Every structure is written in C-alpha cells, then in structure tokens.
Structure 1
Amino acid sequence: MATDPTLPPIEQAQDIAIGLWAQGHGFAMGMMRPWNAYQMLIILGLIFAAHLLRAVLGPRLHAWMRTREGWPKWRMRFLVMVHRRLRLIFFVLLAWITFAVMREVTWHSRSYLIEIAASLATAWLVIAFVTRLIANGFLRGIVRYAGWAWATLIILGLTDEAQQLLDSLAVHLGETRISVWLVLQAVVILGALFFVARLVSRTTSARIARNEEISPSMQVLAVKFLQVLLYGAAFFIGLRTVGVDLTGLAVLSGAIGVGLGFGLQKVVSNLVSGVIILLDKSIKPGDVISLGETFGWINSLGARYVSVVTRDGKEYLIPNEDLITSQVVNWSHSNEFVRLDIYFGTAYADDPHLVRKIAIEAAAGVPRVLSMKAPVCHIVGFGDSSVDYILRFWIRDPTQGLTNIRGNVYLALWDAFKEHGISIPFPQREVRMLETPEGSKEAAPALD
C-alpha cells in the first residue's frame, strides 16, 4: 500500500490508517466463511487441549524438578522457564501437528488460519526464551513486547504498512528529518550493538581476570580500555547505520570540551587520576590501605573512585584524585607482609631476660603470627613505675584485621605473665598525714 510522498505527514498517516482499516475489515468479513469459522473453533479447541495438558503434566514436571538436586543453576533456570510456558509449548506442538495433518487432507485455504496461529505462537515462544538472556527486567520487558509486535506484523504481512505509518510521523529540524521509524531503528540497532558489546566485554573480562600473568591493576586497566573501545564503536556504528551524519558531532565535541574545561574539572581530574593509578600500579584490588581515618582493603577500582571496604562493613568511595594528592599507606604494596608493634611494661622486680623470652613465646603461639619471621622483644626505656618493652611480630593477611590480632597477642601476654607470676604495674597514690608543730594534722602531698 503506497502513499503519495508529496502529501503532508498527517494526510499520509490518515491514508495508511484507512488502508489498514480496510484490510482489517476484509479479514473480519472473511472470518464469516464456514471454513474460517471452523479453523477458529479448531484453534480454540487446541488452546483448551493445551490447558488440559498443562494441568495434568505441569505438577508432575514440577515434582520431578524438585528431585533434581545438584543440577547446574542454568539448567534449573531453563526448566523453570519451560514449566512456566508449558501451555504455550503444548499449543505450538498441537497447532503444527494439526496444520500438517490438515494440509495433507484438505486445501491450504482451509488451514491457513491455523498456520498463522502456530507461527505467532512459535514466534512468541522463541522471543520469550531469547529475551531471558537480558538481565535487566525493565529492558527485557520492552524488548519482549516490541519483538512480539514486530513478529506479529511480519507474520500478518503488515510490515510495509506499519513502516510507512511510522515513517510518516516525523518532525523537521532544519534540514534534518526525524521520524518515529528512524528513532525506533536507532533504538533497536544501538540496543543490539550495546548488548553485543556488553557480552563481548564480560567474556573478555572474565578471561583477563583468569590470566595470572597480568597484574590486578593492569587487568582493571585492560578491562576499562576494552569497555570504552567496544561501547564507543557500538555507538558510532549504530549512528552511522541509521544514517546520522557524524560530522555534526564536531560542534558538539567542542561544546563538550568547553564544558569539561569549566564545569567538569573534578570529574576529568578523577578520570585522569584513575588512569595514572592503574598505570603506576601504586594500588590494586585487594591491597590494604590507610587514608586519613579510613582503613580497609580495596574492593574495586572505578573510573571516578576507588571502593574501600573497612572491617565494620562500611564501603567508602574515595575519589581517585585524593589517592594521588594525599599520603596513602599501602600495607601490601610491594609484599603482603605487615609488621605490628605493641607496647607493654612490667615491674622492676621481674627479670627482663625472662620477660622478653616469655613475650616472644606468647606471641609466637598466636594464630596468624608468622613463625618464619619470628617475633622480637626489646626494652625501650625505664619508666616511672615499670620497665617498658616493645614486642614486634609479622603477619601476612592484613585484610583479616589488625586490631583483632593485636588484641589476641595482648591476651596471650596476659595469660603468660599470669602463669609465670610477672606483674604489670600501674600507677598508685598514697596519702600520708603529717603532724604539725601545733599538734594538728595536715595532708602531705600525694606521692606516686
């Protein structure tokens, strides 16, 4: 059904709508013929038969699925999809069997409605299974209903009319004509290209992550570069496919450059800082860092920020610029060994040689304290009421926490000192009452 391209868009749309109405009216009148009515009754009977089969076999399939313990998750998900669409699956099978039988025993004109119904049901079933690959529920629904609508138009032979109708609904912006058909084309093509780019990116990222020869920071850099390359290529290829002139983007890029120079300085700074961090390998996923009051391990490196997870479960999103301009303590930069120091004191009456020996043995018996780097203990001073010591030991898993290992070592020292009779002094004060010449008493200064 062709329309006059010289007519205004509204009149073109009216002509197309009138033509579609005429075709629909002719189809409805054709349904009044006996064989068409018989085919409709057969289709209704097939729907009822599919419903009965679903009611009988559905619970049995569900009970069988519950006994399949240990199956892969993807296989169980596929069975759940099949169970939810058993009615449609049975209808597709029965419809094609009925059409094949009727095509052999009668004329094609007496079975074409069954063929159309079988084709529509098959298309809907295939689209329902294919769209399950889309993780986003909202996007999956849009793609599913759009696919069903377009498949229905193809099977009914109304694609040309629908295309002309959508193309007639257009607006003109200068010399550029933007129609609903062009917008739909762009959405579909860009969506498909972005889906392919995302699939390729995930597959390649998983392979890069499994390559132990590549450092974690270079893995993140390679993945980010690949994502920018794939999504950028998908965007420009999609625009070129639908006929968008990319030369006009030069003006837009200039405007974006001005915006970056004024309003997006921090964003650009964080992006550049992120690239520098990945290139110089100063930090990488899994490192334990301290930045100001924040202490934790790096969960992920983003384009704008670094995710740092602390021991209490809090996740801090630290801008990349702060990691470049501030002093960062990386506890596991060049190696995974971390030395910890704790201080304690004992009474002057205790033998310092024995104290050092007991402290070293107590620390060495604590889990997580490395035996390959044996603990050491030294006297660091003579205090007012105690001999002061420093105990140094090494661990190799700072991600498991520092405060807890210090506490375990202190507890081991307490038990060891109590067992060997070594006392830990603490400040004490006593007050003496002195006699004055007049016989009265006054408090003497407190003595430690």
Structure 2
Amino acid sequence: MEPQSTFDILQRLLRQGEIFLLGLMREWNAYQIVIAAGIFLLAWGFAKIIGARMHLWMRGLEGWPLWRMRLLVMFHRRLRLTLFVFLIWTVTLIMREATWPSRSYLLGIIAMLATAWLLIAMATRLIRNPLLRFLVRYGGWAWVTLLIVGLTDEARNLLDSAAVDIGDAHFSLWLLLQALVLLAVLFAGARFLSVTSSATIRSNEDISPSMQVLAIKVLQVLLYSSAFFIGLRTVGVDLTGLAVLSGAVGVGLGFGLQKVVSNLVSGIIILLDKSIKPGDVISLGETFGWINALGARYVSVVTRDGKEYLIPNEDLITGQVVNWSHSNEFVRLDIYFGTAYGDDPHVVRRVAIEAAKGVGRVLSNPNAPVCHIVGFGDSSVDYILRFWIADPTKGLTNIRGNVYLALWDAFQEHDISFPFPQREVRMLGEDAAKDARAE
C-alpha cells in the first residue's frame, strides 16, 4: 500500500483510542475499573496466603507422576492470575444479574482478556524452547487482545502496509508475524509428537537399539520438515523458489560439505546394517569403550576413565573396528605367567584353573577356564590362562587384576613359586683378586 494508506490507518487507530479513553471517563466505566483493581488486589492477597501453603504441601508430595508435578508447578506459578480470573468472572456474572449489562460490559472485557492470557500462558509452558515459547506467548497475547477489543482489522492493515514486493511475491510485516507464530506452534507440536513417539519406540523391546535410533531420527526429520512446509504454505509463501534453492544447496554439498555428507550417509549405513548399537563395547585404534549414543555425524564412545570420544561415522565405516559384543557379549581374555622349573606343571595348571573359576565374573559354563604351557623360558615354565566373561562393559583390566590376585593367593597356598632373574657373583682366586686391584 501507499504511505497515505498507512497514515489513514494510524489516524483511525488514534481516533478509536481517543473514543475508548473518553469512554473510561464515564461514571460506570470508572466504577468498573475500580472494581477490577480491587479484585486484582484481592487475588494478590489470596495468592500470597494460599501460595505459601500450597508450596509446603507440594514439597511433601511423593510418588506423584512427573506430569502431575509439572502441572501443579505451572498452576502455582499462575496462581494470582487464576484467582483473578475466577473472582472477576464471579463478580461480572453477579453484576449482569443484578444490574444493567452496560454496567458490567468493561468487566466482561477484562475477564475475557485475563482468561485468554491465562490459557495462553499455561499452554505455552509446554514449549521447551525459550525462543519459541516467547514468540507464541507474546504473539498470542497481542492477537487475542486486539481480537477482544475489536482492532484486528486495523492492526492487520497496518502491519500489511509495511511490505516489500520482490517480483510477484509480497512480503509484509503481517506475513512475517504470521509465519513466526505459526511455525513456532507447529514446531512445538512436532517436538511434542517427537518426544512422545520416541519414548514409545524406546519402550518397545521388539525393536533393536540401532533400529530404534534410526526410526526416531527418521520420525524427527519427517515431523520437523512437515511443520516447516505446512507453516509456510499456510501463510501463503510460494515454495516454488525452494526448488532452485535446494539445487544450489546440492551443489554446495557436493563441493564444500563432502565430509559432512559422508558422515551423515555413514551414520545411516551404521543404523541399517546394525554393525554397532548403543551399549556395544568397541575398540578403534587406541580407543576402547562402549557406545553411549549414535549421532547423525558422530558416535559417542565413553572409555573406562570417563573420557567421551566423538568418533566420525566415516571412521567406523572405513576403519577396522573391534566390536566385543556384536553377535554376543562373551569375551575371552588371556593372561600370561610363569613358574619355577621345580613346580609340577600338572599341579600348576589345575591350581590356576581353580583359582580363575573362583573369581566372580569368570564364566564356568559354557566355556570354562583353560591353562596351557606355551614355552620353556630361561628361568621359568611359561603358561597362558584363558577365561571368558559376559560383561565387558564392566571393564577388562579390573578382571585381569582379580585373576592375577587369585593366582597369587592360590600359588602361595600350594607353595608354587614365581621365578625372577637371579645373578651370582663368584670371586676367583687370590691372584685374580690382586690382578683386579692392580688394574
């Protein structure tokens, strides 16, 4: 529109505002404002008294579902406005029955505004994102206020007059606000559906962990993409230009984002072939730990010392990965030791096997520990002790240490000795000693 049209709209708004202010000067309108102010003070006082007692009662609650506690907290934070809505509607209905409707007209408008603000405030508490919550809440408050006081057409024309025309496209401030509020609502709804559906998918034991992650990510992409396109189409944005934009983005991906795309595709392949899943124990180079989470770009691996490595998905596809729990969780561990030549090897093997069986995490069935001679060293007979565990996520070094301690105790009990290097110093005759001193 032309600037003159915008000026005319502002003039009409100013005239209506002047008429509204003059109307407040009338006797009964002034009385209604005083009554509304008194109701607000009364609600503020009741909220002080009830709120403190309600807070103490809420602190003593135990065993309530989380959603009920959140609802109580939300109600407690909006207690003053809730009491105000209840009291002003009570007073308004009584006055409508006791006197002329015009003498409670302003109270009715205030009651409708307060009710709408309360409902919007409570509904937007479900939105976790602070920016989305801010946009939806204040946009909703502004719009219902204009709707109730009857200024929607003037406000819409004013916002629509601030526009920019690009070709056949008309972009106005009204269109921008519509898009922001609608997209915020749709994204909040998509997030709520995503969280609810994700919890349902994770609780289904018939779906493998890797397929759960894949299903959740596909669902999130579909929900957020649908919210974006539906929001733009609803406010009247032409999406034809997005085809050209997507082509340009594709060219950019081909040249500048090769690694990012490679990691994204590798992540999808990992989820589809189920080669690794959350909870698996893997080794990649010098990194040993268990899978904490599968991301779109990387895999989170937590080691025993608490370090969290973010390994790109491409490395897991192209590198050699040891998955200690891919097909099953059974892991075989080997430890080496040696005994003196004077100890009976048959007894040593039997004692070593019994000692390993006595350690808590070592399995006796279906794979029992075994012990074999692997060589005759310079000062010891060398053995290998092999045993199996079913819980590699609890650590490997600690179980090896426990088995070594069990061997030490068992060998001490059966008088089996661990050899160690020994050296002898021989003194030759007196002549040799003199020659040595002479040198």
TM-score of the pair, normalised by structure 2: 0.95
2:258 to 260, 265, 270: 265
After superposition, give the CA deviation of every residue in 1:256-293 in whole Å (9 maximum; x if it has no partner): 12111110110111111111112221111111100011
Corresponding residue for residue 370 of structure 2 = 376
> Aligned pair 1:418/2:406, yes or no?
no
Is this contact kept in 1: 2:136–2:185, CA < 8 A?
no
CA distance in 2, matches of 1:249, 1:63: 55
After superposition, give the CA deviation of every residue in 1:47-66 in whole Å (9 maximum; x if it has no partner): 11112212222222222223
Is this contact kept in 2: 1:267–1:304, CA < 8 A?
yes
After superposition, give the CA deviation of every residue in 1:195-234 in whole Å (9 maximum; x if it has no partner): 2222222222222222222222222222222222222222
Corresponding residue for residue 226 of structure 2 = 233
Corresponding residue for residue 29 of structure 1 = 22
Code of the aligned partner of 2:271: L
> Aligned pair 1:76/2:69, yes or no?
yes
**Kindly tell me: are residues 376 and 351 of structure 1, through their superposed partners in 2, closer, same or farther at Cα, counting changes over 3 Å?**
same
Corresponding residue for residue 279 of structure 2 = 286
Q: How far 1:141 moved relative to its partner?
A: 2.9
Is this contact kept in 2: 1:298–1:308, CA < 8 A?
yes
Pairing 1:177-196 to 2, within 5 Å after superposition: 177-196=170-189
Corresponding residue for residue 13 of structure 1 = 6
**Kindly tell me: are residues 414 and 189 of structure 1, through their superposed partners in 2, closer, same or farther at Cα, counting changes over 3 Å?**
same
Corresponding residue for residue 446 of structure 1 = none
After superposition, give the CA deviation of every residue in 1:41-85 in whole Å (9 maximum; x if it has no partner): 101110111122122222222222233222222222222222222
Code of the aligned partner of 1:408: N
CA distance in 1, matches of 2:78, 2:230: 37
Is this contact kept in 1: 2:95–2:104, CA < 8 A?
yes
Q: How far 1:193 moved relative to its partner?
A: 2.2
**Kindly tell me: are residues 247 and 56 of structure 1, through their superposed partners in 2, closer, same or farther at Cα, counting changes over 3 Å?**
closer
Describe the SS at the equivalent of 1:306: strand
**Kindly tell me: are residues 84 and 179 of structure 1, through their superposed partners in 2, closer, same or farther at Cα, counting changes over 3 Å?**
same
Q: What 5-or-longer segments of structure 1 have no aligned partner?
A: 444-448
Q: How high is the sequence identity, in percent, across the aligned residues?
A: 72
Corresponding residue for residue 114 of structure 1 = 107
CA distance in 2, matches of 1:438, 1:386: 34
CA distance in 2, matches of 1:400, 1:114: 67
Pairing 1:382-393 to 2, within 5 Å after superposition: 382-393=376-387
Q: How far 1:327 moved relative to its partner?
A: 0.4
CA distance in 2, matches of 1:420, 1:23: 104
Code of the aligned partner of 2:100: W
**Kindly tell me: are residues 186 and 438 of structure 1, through their superposed partners in 2, closer, same or farther at Cα, counting changes over 3 Å?**
closer
**Kindly tell me: are residues 320 and 252 of structure 1, through their superposed partners in 2, closer, same or farther at Cα, counting changes over 3 Å?**
same
Task: Extract structure 1 runs of 4+ deviating beyond 6 A.
Answer: none
1:40 to 33, 42, 45: 33
Deviates more, 1:261-270 or 1:67-76: 67-76
CA distance in 2, matches of 1:414, 1:227: 56
Is this contact kept in 1: 2:139–2:181, CA < 8 A?
no
> Aligned pair 1:299/2:273, yes or no?
no
1:58 to 51, 54, 57: 51
After superposition, give the CA deviation of every residue in 1:314-354 in whole Å (9 maximum; x if it has no partner): 11111110001110000011111111111111111111111
After superposition, give the CA deviation of every residue in 1:159-213 in whole Å (9 maximum; x if it has no partner): 1111111111111223322111111122222222222222222222222222222
> Aligned pair 1:163/2:156, yes or no?
yes
Is this contact kept in 1: 2:278–2:293, CA < 8 A?
yes
TM-score of the pair, normalised by structure 1: 0.93
1:407 to 401, 416, 429: 401
Is this contact kept in 2: 1:436–1:442, CA < 8 A?
no
* Matched residue count: 436
Is this contact kept in 2: 1:167–1:182, CA < 8 A?
yes
Q: How far 1:437 moved relative to its partner?
A: 4.8
CA distance in 2, matches of 1:212, 1:70: 26
CA distance in 1, matches of 2:76, 2:343: 78
> Aligned pair 1:94/2:87, yes or no?
yes
After superposition, give the CA deviation of every residue in 1:415-435 in whole Å (9 maximum; x if it has no partner): 111222211112122333334
1:326 to 319, 323, 328: 319
Code of the aligned partner of 2:152: T
Deviates more, 1:239-248 or 1:295-304: 239-248
CA distance in 1, matches of 2:133, 2:426: 86
Q: How far 1:438 moved relative to its partner?
A: 6.2
Describe the SS at the equivalent of 1:111: helix
Deviates more, 1:151-160 or 1:188-197: 188-197
Q: How far 1:87 moved relative to its partner?
A: 1.5
Q: What 5-or-longer segments of structure 2 have no aligned partner?
A: none
Code of the aligned partner of 1:376: V
Code of the aligned partner of 1:304: R
Corresponding residue for residue 338 of structure 1 = 331
Describe the SS at the equivalent of 1:440: helix
Describe the SS at the equivalent of 1:246: coil
Deviates more, 1:241-250 or 1:434-443: 434-443
Is this contact kept in 1: 2:135–2:180, CA < 8 A?
no
Describe the SS at the equivalent of 2:428: strand
